[in-house]
Amino acid sequence: MRIFFFALVLIFSQTNGRSLPKEIDCQLPDSLKTEIHGYQNFVNFILKHVVKGPEANQTYNELAKFTDTFGSRIAGSTNLERAIDYMLTLLYNEHLDNVHAEAAEVPHWVRGKESAELIYPRQKMVALLGLGGSVGTPKDGIIGELLVVNSFDELKAKADQVPGKIVVYNEPWIDYPTSVKYRQFGAAEAAKLGAVASLIRSIAPYSINSPHTGWQDYEDGVKQIPTACITIEDAEMFRRMAERGMRHSLISIYLYIYYAQVHMVQAMIIMVVLVSGHLDSWDVGQGAMDDGGGAFISWRSLVILKRLGLRPRRTLRVALWTGEEEGIWGGQAYFNAHKHEKDYFSIVMESDIGTFKPLGLTYSGKNKDAQCIIQEVLKLFKGINATQLQITNEGPDIGVWENAGVPGASLINQNEKYFYYHHSEGDTMTVEDPYYLDLCTAFWTATSYIFADLKDMLPR
Amino acid sequence: MRIFFFALVLIFSQTNGRSLPKEIDCQLPDSLKTEIHGYQNFVNFILKHVVKGPEANQTYNELAKFTDTFGSRIAGSTNLERAIDYMLTLLYNEHLDNVHAEAAEVPHWVRGKESAELIYPRQKMVALLGLGGSVGTPKDGIIGELLVVNSFDELKAKADQVPGKIVVYNEPWIDYPTSVKYRQFGAAEAAKLGAVASLIRSIAPYSINSPHTGWQDYEDGVKQIPTACITIEDAEMFRRMAERGMRHSLISIYLYIYYAQVHMVQAMIIMVVLVSGHLDSWDVGQGAMDDGGGAFISWRSLVILKRLGLRPRRTLRVALWTGEEEGIWGGQAYFNAHKHEKDYFSIVMESDIGTFKPLGLTYSGKNKDAQCIIQEVLKLFKGINATQLQITNEGPDIGVWENAGVPGASLINQNEKYFYYHHSEGDTMTVEDPYYLDLCTAFWTATSYIFADLKDMLPR
């Protein structure tokens, strides 16, 4: 059996605006506290070993080699298939146990050529990226008049103007979960009112003329219209033009989409603490940040422990998911194949919101004692100021396990600029820092080891 | 007679790394100090009038309307000609005296289609912008092997490997004057050793996959090879690939350049304190920052004073230069036509390094008393913390006047991110802030008025 897995980054990937919980009043038994504190030397050793010792810079170097060689890795692509084979070989050569891939079905959506050009009141090329799952335009493209709205409410208020128009959403950046609804549902909402296409202002807080792609969801029974994201700069300009009374701006859009439906792809798992990230990426940039970093600190954790001959009480598995970007296809397939094992998983972990300076962990379970244990474990990382605990669901691919009652955790990191690069050509090795990758690797290695090694599983 | 003017931004546009001079020991006569301090109420009034009064937001709105309507404005383009006619009409309608354009010859370099694609070891589209003045490639492009160097020294050390190669310069960002030499002379240096083309890492401290264009200089007697800038991300990746021993990376480059030599264009001047900015821009983005902002705070200064019925002792002229980006063609033409007036110019001013939060003025003269007077004038702007004085040449178009002994000044502003956007698609209205534009406008209006109104001209 071979699988890869994945998850809907749309809803989960956002730490902004989340408030830190107050440290709760914990009543852990002294024996458990002593057990946890006993790992302090181990933590210190791993930090030194990874950050200043023989493993220093290796996560960065491995990630750079991987992303430079394979580039972007959208589900179903040859790039991803080659990347999976490469990882299987690499992990096999590191003598990890039970290196294998499992099968998952994923959509295979392929961007062809695309372009957009403002043709009235003046000529201007408009940078754009078709959105994942979008249909293409006719061969000669679409020429239409723009209707700019800042919200779904404004769209509805202008319903009589929508038929035949190309709707531009110039929604403000608030935070990812709030603003991404325009990317996700903008085409369907515009189509219901008769629009012929929709253009979405990129979901990002900052731009240097970069369009940011991502998945979008058509609605059953609603006409599927071509949809793409444009830059913040162009969306703002179209809005200003409209406000000056230029009501007849014309744009020509051309999207050529190959769309090969569901596709079998590989995935690997090494197995019952699960650490993970997704190996697939969008089809732009290098997928170095989303989620090369998360995937690489995960497999590196196991390799480092293996090289050191450190074997925790419980099995540590690494999963490198596939088809995350199109909606957690690999994550779901893995859950379907392994849900009978759910009582054996102490915790499932995924890093998918950046691997900048590590700050702590999210925890998604409801059990207060488990929260207390994680809080106590995090105190071991005072030396690198990575002691934050946030209560939330985070990793997209582990969401299905969390919903089934398995405790989940994700890496909190200093990711204020994450959405500068997210799903754009800007997601490359240039945003990655070797030292922070080392810190994340050490933190991820030590925390997953401790969870796998504690005498008792985390209470649920 | 109609003129426009311009200047070499290459050398001057850089405030980073410059140290502030200690306040010098000034012995200004009390009467002069009293005269200067007498402008405090005027300064306060202008600040209030522009920032909170009827002129608030108008610089931003005018600039947005202008840049949205005309877009990029490279010398010799229809965009720029239309923009000049628009400005002539606008200033004429504001009843400024003697609104006219003067003639200048400028190069007219026109970008056609261009693209680059890595074809080995894997396919990847490479974002690029041909550099100003570059020749095109043959119709079918050029396919060549990459040779990556980090410096001219490394290029020379690898001289035997250069023939037939496409040289990639991956020079680090140090500061603009240091790093821009690779853009300026990279093609000529590579051609001397037999390269067939050169690609320059964009001259910028930060990137989200944006190429940054700019002028480049071939050398007489050296073969002219096609040259373009690529992104920081791709330059770094090519370097990493080379360091891993991939010595045979192949790239295909296609540049189609229309190149219409010297061209007559218009320019306007309203005249003997000169305030100025350049109206031309690169052919990407909107030229909102470089130098829409500088041009717009300059003409706005005169319009605001005119509307208020304020007339200084000396004439205030505004000049909106042309052909700055290709090497100060308009600035030079204006100097040639007006140099006989040089003893009547108290000071020449230009803003061309951004119109973010204003911080003070540069001063390029050698006379210490003039420096003391400017220092004293700047004290009037304590209320907005715009009292910095730096001793340096700054405005590119006024450099010819400064070299002829006329005192020059330029706007210091909080422009740490200037080179994020410079000469790229990112130079749009999105980087401009209405409030800071108001502050700059008020500061520019008040300082130029005071210099034009002081009883005596600035000593030389």
Digit-coded pLDDT (tens) for A10-27: 233 334 444 455 667 898
Cα A321 to Cα A395: distance, rounded to the nearest angstrom = 11
Residue B54 forms contact with A (CB below 8 Å): no
Residue A237 forms contact with B (CB below 8 Å): yes
DSSP E strand stretches across A49-125: 104-120, 124-125
- Angle CA A164–A166–A168, to nearest 5: 145
Per CB-CB distance under 8 Å, the chain A contacts of B421 are 208
Residue type, A166: I
Return the bridge partners of B389, or none.
Answer: B361
Per CB-CB distance under 8 Å, the chain A contacts of B68 are 237, 240-241, 244
Cβ contact B409:B367 at 8 Å: no
Q: What share of chain B is helix, strand, coil (3-state, %, to 5)?
A: 40, 20, 40
Cα A18 to Cα A412: distance, rounded to the nearest angstrom = 11
Distance of residue A174 Cα from the nearest chain B Cα, in angstroms: 17
Q: What is the largest CA-CA distance in chain B?
A: 75
Average pLDDT (B37-57) is: 95
User: What is the band of A270 on the pLDDT scale with cuts at 50, 70, 90?
Assistant: very low
Q: Do A425 and B127 touch (CB under 8 A)?
A: yes
* Pairing between β-strand A316-321 and β-strand A268-270 as defined by DSSP bridges: antiparallel
User: What is the band of A6 on the pLDDT scale with cuts at 50, 70, 90?
Assistant: very low
Mutate to test the interface with A, among B77, B206, B209, B425 (most CBs of A within 10 A): B209
Distance of residue B94 Cα from the nearest chain A Cα, in angstroms: 21
| Peptide bond connecting A140 to the previous residue in cis, omega within 30 degrees of 0 | no
Residue type, A384: I
B421 has a pLDDT exceeding 90: yes
Number of Cβ within 10 Å of residue A379's Cβ equals 13
Considering the candidates A35, A102, A171, A324, report the single residue annotated as catalytic: A324
**How many CA atoms, within 13 angstroms, populate the side-chain half-sphere of residue B328?**
21
Cβ contact B69:B319 at 8 Å: no
Cα A68 to Cα B238: distance, rounded to the nearest angstrom = 9
Average pLDDT (B335-355) is: 93
User: What is the band of B254 on the pLDDT scale with cuts at 50, 70, 90?
Assistant: confident
User: What is the band of B12 on the pLDDT scale with cuts at 50, 70, 90?
Assistant: very low
Residue in B7, B57, B2 with CA at minimum distance from that of residue B279 = B7
Q: Which two tokens stand for residue A380?
A: 């071991």
Active-site residue set of B: 324
Per CB-CB distance under 8 Å, the chain B contacts of A115 are none
User: What is the band of A161 on the pLDDT scale with cuts at 50, 70, 90?
Assistant: very high
Compute the count of residue pairs across chains A and B with CB atoms less than 8 Å apart: 81
Interface of B with A in 58-117 (CB under 8 A): 64-65, 68-71
Q: Do A237 and B65 touch (CB under 8 A)?
A: no
B13 has a pLDDT exceeding 80: no
Residue B271 forms contact with A (CB below 8 Å): no
Residue A307 forms contact with B (CB below 8 Å): no
Mean pLDDT over the full length of chain B = 89
| Burial status of residue B381 (CB atoms within 10 A of its CB: 0-12, 13-18, 19 or more) | buried
Return the bridge partners of B316, or none.
Answer: B273
Residue B419 forms contact with A (CB below 8 Å): no
Mean pLDDT over the full length of chain A = 89
Q: Do A237 and B429 touch (CB under 8 A)?
A: yes
Cα A36 to Cα A29: distance, rounded to the nearest angstrom = 11
Tell me the pLDDT tens digit for each residue of A361-420.
999 988 999 999 999 999 999 999 999 999 999 999 999 999 999 999 999 999 999 999
Q: Do B121 and A209 touch (CB under 8 A)?
A: no
What's the pLDDT at A264?
55
Search chain A and give the residue with CA nearest B429: A233
Distance of residue B122 Cα from the nearest chain A Cα, in angstroms: 7
User: What is the band of B134 on the pLDDT scale with cuts at 50, 70, 90?
Assistant: very high
Cα B297 to Cα B276: distance, rounded to the nearest angstrom = 8
Residue with the bigger pLDDT between B149 and B27: it is B149
Q: Which phi and psi (to 5°) does residue B18 adopt?
A: -90, 140
Residue in A155, A270, A257, A248 with CA at minimum distance from that of residue A216 = A257
Distance of residue A373 Cα from the nearest chain B Cα, in angstroms: 40
What's the pLDDT at B378?
97
> Using the 8-state DSSP alphabet, how is residue B449 labeled?
H
Cα A384 to Cα A40: distance, rounded to the nearest angstrom = 13
Tell me the pLDDT tens digit for each residue of A421-445.
999 999 999 999 999 999 999 999 9
Average pLDDT (A275-281) is: 91
B20 has a pLDDT exceeding 80: no
Say if the ipTM goes beyond 0.95: no
Q: Which phi and psi (to 5°) does residue B334 adopt?
A: -65, -40
Per CB-CB distance under 8 Å, the chain B contacts of A207 are 208, 426, 430
Mutate to test the interface with B, among A110, A208, A234 (most CBs of B within 10 A): A208
Nearest CB to B236; choose among A70, A207, A429 = A429
Q: Which residue shows structure tokens 């003067």?
A: B102
* Pairing between β-strand B197-201 and β-strand B166-169 as defined by DSSP bridges: parallel
Cβ contact B459:B369 at 8 Å: yes
The string over A239-270, giving b where at least 16 C-beta atoms fall within 10 Å of a residue's C-beta and e elsewhere, is: bbbbeeeeeebebbbbbebeeeeebebbbbbb
Alpha carbon distances (Å) from A150 to A157, A167, A197, B200, B432: 11, 10, 16, 39, 20
What's the pLDDT at A165?
95
What's the pLDDT at A4?
34
B193 has a pLDDT exceeding 90: yes
Q: Do B207 and A425 touch (CB under 8 A)?
A: no
Q: Do A69 and B121 touch (CB under 8 A)?
A: yes
What's the pLDDT at A101?
85
Cα B189 to Cα B141: distance, rounded to the nearest angstrom = 21
Nearest CB to A425; choose among B65, B209, B429 = B209
Residue type, B317: R
Per CB-CB distance under 8 Å, the chain A contacts of B65 are 244
Residue with the bigger pLDDT between A267 and A275: it is A275
Q: Do B209 and A210 touch (CB under 8 A)?
A: yes
What's the pLDDT at A262?
60
Nearest CB to B210; choose among A69, A70, A208 = A208
- CA dihedral of residues A442, A446, A448, A451 (deg, nearest 10): -160
User: What is the band of A107 on the pLDDT scale with cuts at 50, 70, 90?
Assistant: confident
Distance of residue B62 Cα from the nearest chain A Cα, in angstroms: 12
Per CB-CB distance under 8 Å, the chain A contacts of B208 are 207-208, 210, 420-421, 424-426
Alpha carbon distances (Å) from B122 to A22, A221, A420, B60, B126: 50, 41, 26, 45, 12
Q: Range with the lowest mean pLDDT among A85-99, B176-190, B295-309, B346-360?
A: A85-99
Per CB-CB distance under 8 Å, the chain A contacts of B69 are 121-122
Q: Do B232 and A430 touch (CB under 8 A)?
A: yes
Cβ contact A225:A191 at 8 Å: yes
pTM for the whole thing? Answer: 0.87
The string over A43-69, giving b where at least 16 C-beta atoms fall within 10 Å of a residue's C-beta and e elsewhere, is: bebbbebbbeeebbebbbebbbebbbb
User: What is the band of B442 on the pLDDT scale with cuts at 50, 70, 90?
Assistant: very high
